[in-house]
Amino acid sequence: MPNILWVDDEIHMLKGHLLFLEGKGYSFETCNNGIDALEEFERQPFDAVFLDENMPGLTGLEVLERMKSIRPEVPVVMITKSEEESIMEMAIGSKIADYLIKPVNPNQVLLSLKKILKGKELVTQQATRGYQQVFGKLTMDMQSLRSWEEWANFYKELLRWELELDQSSEDGLKSVLATQKNEANELFGRFISNNYESWFSSNERPMLSHEVVGNVVAPQIRKGEKVFFVVIDNLRLDQWMVIKPRISEDFNIASENIYSSILPSATQYARNALFAGMVPADIKKKMPQYWKEEHEEGSKNEFEGELFVEQLKSLGLGDKQVRYHKVTNMRVANKFVSNIHQNKQADVVALVYNFVDTLSHARTDVEVIRELASDDNAYRRVTATWFEGSPLRKALKWAAENGFKVVL
């Protein structure tokens, strides 16, 4: 039974609340002042604390500060009559779990307790029920997918459930979803085999690698926007979905589009096509000086900057000031961020960022990384943790502060 400490100088007026909540399966210790509350808090463990802000002697905020120094992991709910913004800000800054304005009714308190103590469990239960309900529909839907758009939407739906179940302890359901995803991959492979070649002679096709700049980047430039074009090599859609909340903290995301890589999807082909605005065969034919065959030595993407400039010229944007950068390791990343101000006058800044690709290869080559990113869930967590404090995030913030529209 969860044990709660409730501190209020008028605790005798809350007997009805306590009886109601005890009937819901919670036990309570009560105190009517901060000194006694701190003694009780040190004497025994509590699952949560309800703390009145306005009390004689030690104030609620003072008690809160001391409790956080004793056991910072215990969630504290501040209850107050005051609606002063400064008090709210101080309480939130002290990492309270919730903030309730008096008079509170018992159901408000119950909801707060459920959110704090059972929130993750309830989310997991709902995700589990939700996937069980849609499993059959997903299985039937994947048999009838006929277009790229349908497949893209179906994949996003699968990933949504995969991310929902990441928090679940239901390994059986995760295994079922993994099997469903493998089946979808097999069917999608057949779809690509049957349709890929015809895409090049039809308008009924997805946006492909070599069309991204023309369809997405160039229109922004023509509108007079300064563009910061970021290519995170080997970034998967599920990885985007876990770093998106962090990006949303710094940006308004105006639109999201999914495009299809050309085949082969290897860097030499797909990324060169992206920067050239043409398929590899045409790069080799029209600009052989910028193409390297597989057997040739050196980087196969050595001329991306030149290809990008040539593509912008072909799109009527040859008068724009263009900067191209490639970040291959942390040393280069830190140097780029240190000198990023040098790009301020550019119309277009293109940045290739290789960390995720390096991480992807390290998953198979480096034992420590294999342990850190042992499955897709762990791989996503590593990606999110990396992005949180990465030089790339600093670069994106700089771009926003200096008037660039970011295309990632």
Q: What are the pLDDT digits (tens) for 104-147?
A: 999 999 999 999 998 888 878 888 888 889 999 999 999 999 99
Cα–Cα distance for residue pair 288/78, rounded to 1 Å: 69
Is 109 in contact with 17 (CB distance < 8 Å)? yes
Q: Decide: helix, strand or coil at residue 260.
A: strand
Name, in order, each residue with C-beta under 8 angstroms of 27's C-beta and a sequence gap of 6 or more: 1, 2, 3, 4
Q: In what order do the strands lie in the sheet with 48-52?
A: 27-31, 3-7, 48-52, 76-80, 98-101
Q: What pLDDT is recorded for position 233?
A: 94
Of 214-223, 320-329, 342-351, 378-387, which range is least confident? Answer: 378-387
| Domain map (residue ranges) of the chain | 3-104, 119-199, 209-407
- Amino acid code (one letter) for 110: L
Query: In this predicted model, which residue has the larger pLDDT, 131 or 374?
Result: 131
For 179-232, the pLDDT digits (tens) are 999 999 999 999 999 999 999 998 889 999 999 999 999 999 999 999 999 999
Phi and psi (nearest 5°) for 272? -60, -40
Highest mean pLDDT among 56-60, 83-87, 345-349, 358-362: 345-349
What is the spatial distance between Cα 172 and Cα 10, in angstroms, rounded to a whole number? Answer: 50
Helices (H), 265-401: 267-276, 280-286, 304-314, 330-338, 355-365, 367-372, 376-388, 391-401
Is residue 326 predicted with pLDDT exceeding 90? Answer: yes
Q: Are 131 and 164 in contact (CB under 8 A)?
A: yes
Amino acid identity for residue 12 in this structure: H
Mean pLDDT, to the nearest integer, of 268-291? Answer: 96
Start-end of H helices in 143-170: 148-165
Task: For tokens 């939407």, name the residue.
Answer: 153
- Residue ranges in 166-231 assigned as alpha helix (H): 171-199, 212, 218-222
Select 3-104's CATH number: 3.30.470.10, 3.90.110.10, 3.40.50.2300, 1.10.3720.10.
3.40.50.2300
Report the range out of 97-101, 330-334, 371-375 with the highest average pLDDT. Answer: 330-334
**In the structure encoding, which two tokens stand for residue 313, read together?**
């010229």
Mean pLDDT to the nearest integer, 338-359: 94
Helix segments in 225-346, DSSP class H: 237-248, 267-276, 280-286, 304-314, 330-338
Contact 180, 135 (CB under 8 A): yes
pLDDT at position 294 is 82
pLDDT value of residue 85: 75
Q: Which one-letter amino acid corresponds to residue 291? A: W
Mean pLDDT computed over 293-311: 90
The string over 290-304, giving b where at least 16 C-beta atoms fall within 10 Å of a residue's C-beta and e elsewhere, is: bbbeeeeeeebbebb
Task: Quote the pLDDT of residue 69.
Answer: 92
Q: Read off the pLDDT of residues 72-106 as tens digits, 9 standing for 90 and up.
A: 999 999 998 877 777 778 877 878 888 898 889 99
List the single range of 13-22, 276-285, 292-301 with lowest mean pLDDT: 292-301
d(C-alpha 359, C-alpha 328), whole Å: 11
CA proximity to 79, closest of 107, 38, 41, 51: 51
Residue type, 401: E
User: Which residue in the block uniquely carries the two structure tokens 């229109």?
Assistant: 219
Mean residue pLDDT of the chain comes to: 92
The band of 241, judged by pLDDT with boundaries at 50, 70 and 90, is very high
Separation of alpha carbons 151 and 154, rounded Å: 5
CA distance 205 to 262: 12
At 361, the pLDDT band (50, 70, 90 cuts) reads confident
Whether 341 has a pLDDT exceeding 80, the answer reads: yes
Q: Is the pLDDT of residue 378 over 90?
A: no
Closest CA to 349 of 358, 357, 340: 340
Whether the Cβ atoms of residue 5 and residue 50 lie closer than 8 Å to each other = yes
How many angstroms separate the CA atoms of 283 and 301, rounded?
12
